[in-house]
Structure formats: structure tokens, C-alpha cells
Amino acid sequence: MSLESKLYNLSLEFQEELIEIRRHLHMHPELSFKEYKTAEFIQSILDKWGIKYSKNWATTGIVGDIQSSHPSDRVVALRADMDALLIREDNNLAYCSMNDGIMHACGHDVHMTCLLGAIKLLHETKENWNGSVRFIFQPGEEKLPGGASILLKEKVLADPKVQFIIGQHVQPNMSVGNVGICSGKAMASCDEIYIRVIGKGGHAAMPHLAINPIVVASELILELNELLKNKLTPNIKAILSFGKVNTNGGATNIIPEELLIEGTFRCLDEDFRNSFHNEMQNKATSIALKYGAKIECNIERGYPCLMNNESLSQQFIETLTNFPGINEIEVLEPRMTSEDFSYYSQEIPAIFYRLGTGPSTNVHSSQFVVNEESIAKGAAVMAFLATQLKPIT
């Protein structure tokens, strides 16, 4: 029997156990860097299966290595994120979240379960593949600075050095049995923008004696959007969006002293990202001078652009073309959402692919659901990729 058939058949044998694991995780979600019970539960599963690991990575993370029966210098990593979101679940399920106001609304419960399934499959078939596989249960994907950045500082990819890393993410409204990949620039960087416009308050009937921060802010927002529009090319994709504008004081007859703006800048090119940061600062300075106001522009750097290695992406397609249970491999467009797996992709070759989980609202929704038939498929795919993809030389 081929390895792909063996892995797929075993995944179906383990399917009921994997669904039970997923439902437990779904019922007990925890927020970023507070995944204590989650970590304890994962450790209990690994202990039951006789899998060695180390704990307390970035507080709650778990890392281990599965050695095949055929040692080599081939080392690949598999990663799953652990944290949930501050969302109150609105589903009629027997296994809804029991932690009020917290929900696995981004599928991290599925990610952890698929990684656990892949670990079990690899352990059961270690006579049939070469090298070693490092598994990484990573906390804090949903919160800056991102658990990935902390794990990298803690040398999670060293000793022995990992040659490439694989990550998987649920994809609602992609058919169960389908997977998807975007080669190259796959997900955007994400920066948070906090702007404080300080003017001079006064009576609305005497605007000439005041410096209206609303007027200053309005011009700034328009000018920044126009600046970005003029900078974009067919090869550079970026988005600048402002979602919050609040004055400190003010009324129909009162010009306020200051105004606060919050927004996001997302980009698929790291060089352009850095240069546009400088241009935003310069534009804020020039408009402040024009009006005699003061503008404080704080750009909080978030996750970088996620790069799917082109060679690994092509291998992904070739490897899964005839894999049992996979009906279609979808070629996906870049996304302007962000993901801290991107930190790994900036360090070593990486692929981050999508697992079809069936009809649902989008992620980060209180009514997000998954078709649990996707879980065994996700575990088998992850395990097979770990054994078949070739390191980039």
C-alpha cells in the first residue's frame, strides 16, 4: 500500500477521535497567550500517544520532534495556532463554547486537531518516511506581536535547523475535499495607524480664531488615500483604510482641541511598505505645517507579508494531485488579510495553504462553523506533505 493511501486510511480510522478532540477544544477556547488549559489538554493527548515534547514556549506553546526510522538531515516543521477570539458564539451546536464571550471563530481548534492528527499519523508510519518533523503548537496568533515572532526569538527553528515549514488554515465556503494555495506573495502585511491631530479649540461661529482639527484630519485622510492611489502599480497591491475618527470634546457650536484617527495599512510588498510609512509621516508633517496644527502619526508595525515559496507551492500541487480524498487543488489569489505565520516565511522557505471546510459565514464571525469531515483530510494532507516535500537547495 502506498504511503498516501496508508495515511488517508489511518486518518479515517482516527476520524472519530479527532472530532472528539476538536469539539473539546472548541468548547474550551482561550485568548492569546492565555491558552493554559488548551496546552494542558494537548499535552495530555501527546502523553497518551507516547509523543515527547517540550512546553512553555512563548508561555503556552508546545514543540516536539517526531523521528522517522530512517534518520537523515531532512527537517520539516508543522505549525498550528492555539488562540481564540473575543467573540460570543451564536451557534446551535451541542459543543458550543463554554467560555462566555470567547470563541474559536477562526478555526484554530481545527488547526490544532489537524496537527495532532498529523503527529499521530507520522508516528504510526515512521517506517515509511525519512528524516524528522518538528511540530509547533503556537500561542498568540491573533495578538501583536504574534506568537510566531516570539518563538523565532526563542530559536524554535534551530537545533536541528528546520529546512522549511508548513502551515494550514481553514477556508469556509471551499468544498470539503478541496485545498488551495497562492504561490509567492500570499497574504498582506498589516500595520495599525494611530493619528492624533491637535488644533486650537474655539467657538464655531469664530473659526478664524481656531484651528479646527476636523478640517485638518479630513484633508489628511483624503491626501493619504490619494497618495497611495498614485503610488500603486500593477505589481504593488496595498490598502489604506481608516475605521475610527473621534474628537475629544466638540459640539455643534464648539470646535474641539483634538481629534483621534485609527486605521490600517496593508501591503504585499515589504519595500513599498517601508517607504510608504515614511511618506505618510511626511504628508502628516506638511499638512500640520499648512494649518499650524500638530499631528502625531504613530504607525505600529504588525505582521509582515506572507511569502509562499514558489518551489514548495509547485511541489504542493504536484504532491496532492492524486492524493485520496482531495478532489481539487484551487489556485488562489493573494489576500489582504494577515497572519503571523508570515514571520516564519520571512526566515525560511514556507507554504501556508487552505483547507476546505464547507459552507459557513466567514471567519471571525459568531456563526462560523466547519464541516468536521474536513478534519481527517486535513490531518492526512499535512502528514503527507511533511513526508514528501523536498527542501529548497
Cis (ω within 30 of 0) for the bond into 139? Answer: no
Q: Which residues pair with 308 in a beta bridge?
A: 184
Nearest to 210 by CA among 218, 219, 200, 220: 200
Phi and psi, residue 51, nearest 5°:
-100, 125
Q: How far apart are CA 286 and CA 301, in angstroms?
A: 23
Q: How far apart are CA 193 and CA 295, in angstroms?
A: 13
Partners of residue 354 on adjacent β-strands: 169, 180
Percent of the chain with pLDDT over 90: 98
**CB under 8 Å to 135, separation ≥6 — which residues?**
53, 62, 63, 64, 65, 66, 77, 78, 79, 115, 118, 119
Does the structure show a pLDDT above 90 at 1?
no
Measure Cα distances from 279 to 23, 140, 199, 265, 297 in Å: 48, 31, 22, 13, 11
As a dihedral over the C-alpha atoms of residue 168, residue 174, residue 177, residue 179, rounded to 10 degrees, the angle is -40
Place of cell 515512521: 126
Grouping H, G, I as helix, E, B as strand and the rest as coil, residue 91 is coil
Task: Give the chain's end-to-end CA distance (angstroms, integer).
Answer: 30
| Residue 356, pLDDT above cutoff 90 | yes
Domain 189-302 matching CATH 3.40.640.10: the answer reads no
The average confidence (pLDDT) of the chain is 97
CATH of 3-186+306-388, one of 3.40.630.10, 3.30.70.2860, 3.40.50.300, 3.10.270.10: 3.40.630.10
**Confidence check: pLDDT of 27 > 90:** yes
Would you state the pLDDT for residue 348? 98
CB 127 within 8 A of CB 67: no
Q: In which band, very low, low, confident or very high, does the pLDDT at 392 lie, cut at 50, 70 and 90?
A: confident
Residue appearing with cell numbers 517506517: 127
User: Exposure pattern of 105-137 as b/e (b: 16+ CB <10 Å)?
Assistant: bbbbbbbbbbbbbbbbbbbbbbebbebbbbbbb
Task: For residue 306, count other CB atoms closer than 10 A to its CB.
Answer: 29
Chain-centre distance of CA 334, in angstroms?
A: 14
The length of the chain is: 393
What is the average per-residue pLDDT within 189-205? 97
Cα(188)–Cα(375) distance, rounded to whole angstroms?
27
Cβ neighbours of 40 (radius 10 Å): 12
Question: What pLDDT sits at residue 208?
Answer: 95
**Tens-place pLDDT, residues 56-103:** 999 999 999 999 999 999 999 999 999 999 999 999 999 999 999 999
Say what angle helices 373-388 and 108-124 make with each other, to 10 degrees.
50
Between 86-90, 158-162, 246-250, the lowest mean confidence (pLDDT) is in 246-250
- b/e map of 314-343 (b: 16 or more CB within 10 Å)? ebbeebbeebbbbeebeebebbbebbbbbb
3-186+306-388 and 189-302 agree in CATH topology: no
Beta strands in the chain (DSSP E): 54-57, 61-67, 75-81, 132-138, 164-171, 178-181, 184-187, 189-198, 202-203, 238-248, 254-255, 258-267, 294-300, 306-308, 328-331, 350-356
Return the C-alpha cell found at 303. 505582521
**Which sequence spans correspond to the domains of the chain?**
3-186+306-388, 189-302
DSSP 207: G
pLDDT digits (tens, 9 = 90+) for 325-339: 999 999 999 999 999
Can you tell me the distance from the alpha carbon of 222 to that of 35, in angstroms, rounded to the nearest whole number?
A: 42
| Position 235 pLDDT exceeds 90 | no
